Amino acid sequence: MNGCLRMFLLAACLLTSRTALAALPDDVIEWVKEGVPDEQIITRIAQSPPSVRLGAHDALWLKAAGVSDAVLKALIDASATAPSEPPSTLEVLPEPVEPPTRPPQPKLVVKTVKEIIAAHEDGASTAELIRAVRGLYLRIGRADRNRLESAGVPYSVIRAATTSWQPDAPIRDRSSPQVDRVKGFDGKTTFGTFECGGGFSSVSLGDATTIVARLSPGLHAIIASAISLGVEADFSFAPGDAGRTMLFAVVGAGIPTASNFLLRLAGRFGVDAEDGAAAYGFSVAGLGRFGRLLVGVGLTGTWSGDPAVSVIAADLRIGTWF
């Protein structure tokens, strides 16, 4: 009887220790790949909440791995009470002391995405990789992320390489060879924006100048972190000849930065819908990124027709990027 009781208590302890393990982002990604229903994943997360607080960086990565919004919300909510740094029990254990008769093992050194993949494929353990990449603060784009995932590099290694585990840790000098320097919002070198500008424009018809209200929607693409291509429409609201409708192709340079600011300098070439005359001009826009929201200002100059109609406009811009 006492033997059965001891075996029962041992099984209960093993079961308790298993369910007490924290659910990590790696586990959630693996469950999704295995086809585990969202309801079961949410239940597992509730039973074993993460031991590290998750942020926007983790949410973007999990979303890209196919995790649903419901599971992502449950995971982030469950981690809200966890510390921002991993508890000491999760820290990588120090290397065991080698016997004096054996030479010391060389320290694993990696600095780039390519070297991380090579070390993983050469058999480096997750603990070794985490210790080697922590503090690199790599900025990686979608292509590098796909390369890491295809090579099977654990998410915990990627997170250690791209973050500091501390929200307020200083970013290292981007001129360091340890950092993959990639321009763009979230490391993207190609992305699009939808913007809508509103404000006032000065319309000159010969010797007469009129101030009119203006609306300007536009769709733009930033290619290879440098080339800006887009289409825009200008609607000026005023009675008579002062009211104009113009359509433009926009070609220029777009400069997105790692500080979430986009500067665009471009030429505009199109047509004045009022009389079918060719129109041309310039466009300058500065936009700040706040999550998916873009907010900024723009300045445009346009000339068309014979006699010439000139339009100088400043506007406030709001939009989104994708």
Q: Residues 20, 25, 31, 35: is their CA dihedral positive or negative?
A: positive
Same domain, 140 and 216: no
Radius of gyration, CA atoms only, the chain: 28
In a domain, 2, yes or no: no
Same domain, 239 and 296: yes
Q: What is the C-alpha separation between 56 and 82, in angstroms, rounded?
A: 15
135 is a domain residue? yes
Q: Lowest mean pLDDT: which of 2-16, 28-42, 93-107, 274-288?
A: 2-16
Position 89 scores a pLDDT of 42
pLDDT of the residue at 173: 37
Question: Do 164 and 198 have their domain in common?
Answer: no
Q: Are 112 and 156 part of one and the same domain?
A: yes
Statement: residue 317 has pLDDT above 90: yes
User: How sure is the predictor about 167, in pLDDT bands with cuts at 50, 70 and 90?
Assistant: very low
Q: Is residue 51 part of a domain?
A: yes
The answer as to whether 126 is a domain residue is: yes
- pLDDT computed for residue 230 by the predictor: 93
Last residue of a domain, one of 61, 78, 95: 78
Q: Is the dihedral angle over the CA atoms 85, 88, 90, 92 positive or is it negative?
A: positive
Higher-confidence residue of 73 and 208: namely: 73
- Indicate whether 144 and 262 sit together in one domain: no
The answer to the question of residue 280 being in a domain is yes
Tell me the pLDDT tens digit for each residue of 205-239: 767 788 888 889 999 988 877 889 999 988 888 76
Q: Which domain holds residue 307?
A: 187-321
What is the reported pLDDT for 43?
A: 87
Q: How far apart are CA 216 and CA 229, in angstroms?
A: 16
**Higher pLDDT pick, 247 / 182:** 247
Q: Is residue 98 assigned to a domain? A: no
* Band (13; pLDDT cuts 50, 70, 90): very low
Do 203 and 315 fall within a single domain?
A: yes
In the predicted structure, residue 181 carries a pLDDT above the cut 70: no
- Does residue 315 share a domain with residue 199? yes
Task: Provide the pLDDT for residue 262.
Answer: 85
CA dihedral for 53, 55, 60, 63, sign (positive or negative): positive
Residues 305 and 251 placed together within one structural domain of the fold = yes
Instruction: Please state the rounded mean pLDDT for residues 106-126.
Output: 85
Which CATH number belongs to the domain containing residue 281 in this structure? 2.40.160.20
Boundary-marking domain end, from 164, 182, 200: 182
Encoded tokens for 127 = 């603990």
State the pLDDT at residue 7.
47
Lowest model confidence (mean pLDDT) among 92-96, 274-278, 306-310: 92-96
Q: d(Cα 204, Cα 311) in Å, to the nearest integer? A: 6
Look at residue 97 and tell me if it is in a domain: no
Clarify whether residues 245 and 213 are in a common domain.
Answer: yes
Dihedral angle at the C-alpha atoms of 160, 162, 164, 165, nearest 10 degrees?
-50
Same domain, 175 and 195: no
Task: Please tell me the predicted confidence (pLDDT) of residue 261.
Answer: 83
Own/partner contacts of 175-179, CB < 8 Å, gap of 24 or more, are: 177/111, 178/111, 178/136, 178/137, 178/138, 179/136, 179/137, 179/138, 179/139
Domain count, the chain: 3
Of 148, 182, 216, which residue sits at a domain end?
A: 182
Mean of the pLDDT values across residues 303-318?
Answer: 83
| 163: confidence class by pLDDT, cuts 50, 70, 90 | low
Least confident of 9-18, 125-134, 207-216: 9-18
Res 300: pLDDT: 92
Q: Are residues 142 and 200 in the same domain?
A: no
291, part of any domain: yes
Kindly provide the residue ranges of all beta strands, DSSP E only, lying in the chain, ordered along the sequence. 191-205, 208-223, 227-237, 245-256, 261-272, 278-290, 293-304, 309-321
* Helix/strand/coil for 4: helix
* One domain for residues 226 and 310: yes
Higher pLDDT, 95 or 288: 288
